[in-house]
Amino acid sequence: MYALELGGEDDPFAAREAASAANGVEPLASGLALADEIDPERLSSLAFTLRASRVLARTDGTVESAREELADAELDREGTVAVRARDVRRTADVDTQLAERRLGGVLTDRGYTVDLDDPDHELRALLADDSCILGWLAAESERGFGARVPTKKPFFQPGSMSPLLARALANIAGAHPGATIVDPMCGTGGVLVEAGLVGARVLGFDAQSKMVRGAATNLDHYLDEHEFATARADATRLPLRDDAADAVIFDAPYGRQSKIEGELDSVVSGALVEAKRIAARAVIVGDRSWIAEARAAGWSVEDSFERRVHRSLVRHIAVLG
């Protein structure tokens, strides 16, 4: 069993993304989830899972209980160790430095050498709400999203999606090496960049030539030799054969900002029908729920989420299959 340290503040959404790299994901406490098995390589690509640790012991959320559990645990590691304690989202009201000293003392008493700079193994003490999990660090996600924020990209437009959310959507949709991901309203190409960085072949379309050229610039900048293509096309009539893709992801135009406001319903409905033609999975994002239109297009709704961006904007996300 593995303990997952979740990022952000939306645990159900983070857990949904984590399920793309782990089996049997179940929420445990604020900022924590459990999983039966993980794929360390895929977990490294997650946006909202920070680390996974192989569970050694579980107890209540006190340092003394954690110390007693560790003293009785069967330890199967050789080499140097370090203890890192974390009060997850400050819900445990625990002195983490005291926890590290107490747990490190147990390991020292059991013959381990503590190396805080470059240990062979890291013991994580995860305290949240009234629970504590002790586990050996097994995998960490690779960060670096800050280097790809919209304003740092070669081509930028206001309202572009953050790379964290774009990566999570790509993972939820099933982006991985060998998969083909299509964005029929690709804008600046943010979702395609993140899907491409995890190894997927990405195809972007947009009705505006400016966006097609800009997305191609961003993809060329970040994806190096990864396979990608962009073209100008109507999202309701894509130049692709049936079942050409593994998944479709798109951020639907927002009503107040869209130049096609009067036609928005028919455009998004048509795009959902077209997405169903070319792929078996889809993720749609918008400033309103498009679930009714998705069902009318023949999709079933696997999951839905609402993520507040600021006071006047909530992103609605639907996972379709």
**Contact by Cβ (8 Å): 305, 317:** yes
* Cβ neighbours around 95 below 10 Å, total: 13
Q: What is the mean pLDDT of residues 134-149?
A: 95
Same domain, 67 and 192: no
Residue found under tokens 């340092």 = 63
Same domain, 113 and 164: no
d(CA 315, CA 139): 30
Same domain, 165 and 276: yes
Same domain, 16 and 53: yes
Would you state the pLDDT for residue 270?
A: 96
- Give the pLDDT band of residue 231 (cuts 50, 70, 90): very high
Would you state the pLDDT for residue 224?
A: 84
Same domain, 271 and 169: yes
H-helix or E-strand spanning residue 302: strand 301-310
Would you state the pLDDT for residue 262?
A: 56
Q: What is the mean pLDDT of residues 2-6?
A: 98
**Could you tell me the CATH number of the domain that includes residue 15?**
3.30.2130.30
Would you state the pLDDT for residue 263?
A: 84
d(CA 224, CA 212): 18
Give the CB-side neighbour count of residue 253, counting CA atoms within 13 A.
Answer: 22
Same domain, 167 and 308: yes
**Could you tell me the CATH number of the domain that includes residue 253?**
3.40.50.150
Same domain, 149 and 279: yes
CA 34 and chain centroid, separation: 16
Whole-prediction pTM: 0.93
Would you state the pLDDT for residue 284?
A: 98
Across 167-176, 264-273, 309-318, least confident range:
309-318
Would you state the pLDDT for residue 259?
A: 52
pLDDT digits (tens, 9 = 90+) for 15-53: 999 999 999 999 999 999 999 999 999 999 999 999 999
Same domain, 228 and 315: yes
CA 273 and chain centroid, separation: 26
Mean pLDDT across the chain? 94
Same domain, 112 and 167: no
Across 143-147, 230-234, 261-265, least confident range:
261-265
pLDDT digits (tens, 9 = 90+) for 55-77: 999 999 889 999 999 999 989 88
Q: Give the 3-state secondary structure of residue 313.
A: strand
The packing angle between helices 63-72 and 96-109, to 10°, is: 20
d(CA 177, CA 198): 7
When comparing pLDDT for 138 and 261, which is higher?
A: 138
Q: Give the 3-state secondary structure of residue 211.
A: helix
Query: Is the per-residue pLDDT at 108 higher than 60?
Result: yes
E strands along the chain, which residues?
2-6, 22-23, 26-29, 32-35, 37-38, 49-60, 81-87, 121-128, 131-140, 180-183, 201-206, 228-232, 247-251, 282-286, 301-310, 313-320
Same domain, 21 and 113: yes
Q: What is the mean pLDDT of residues 200-217?
A: 96
Q: What is the mean pLDDT of residues 88-106?
A: 93
Q: Where are the alpha helices (DSSP H) in 180-280?
A: 190-197, 209-223, 264-278
Would you state the pLDDT for residue 106?
A: 94
Residue 283 CB contacts under 8 Å (≥ 6 apart), including other chains: 169, 172, 173, 247, 248, 249, 250, 317, 318, 319, 320
- 48-to-30, 31, 184, 298, 318 alpha-carbon distances in Å: 13, 10, 25, 30, 17
Q: Which residues pair with 83 in a beta bridge?
A: 123
Would you state the pLDDT for residue 256?
A: 53
Q: The tokens of 78 are what?
A: 């050789």
Give the number of residues written for the chain.
Answer: 321
Boundary of a domain, candidates 140, 170, 201:
140
Boundary of a domain, candidates 140, 156, 188:
140
Boundary of a domain, candidates 140, 160, 183:
140
Residue found under tokens 């998705």 = 294
Query: Is the per-residue pLDDT at 134 higher than 90?
Result: yes
Same domain, 162 and 304: yes
Instruction: Express as a percent the part of the chain with pLDDT over 70.
Output: 98
Determine the structural domain holding residue 264 and report its residue range: 145-320
Would you state the pLDDT for residue 260?
A: 54
Same domain, 49 and 115: yes
Number of domains in the chain: 2
Instruction: Express as a percent the part of the chain with pLDDT over 90.
Output: 85
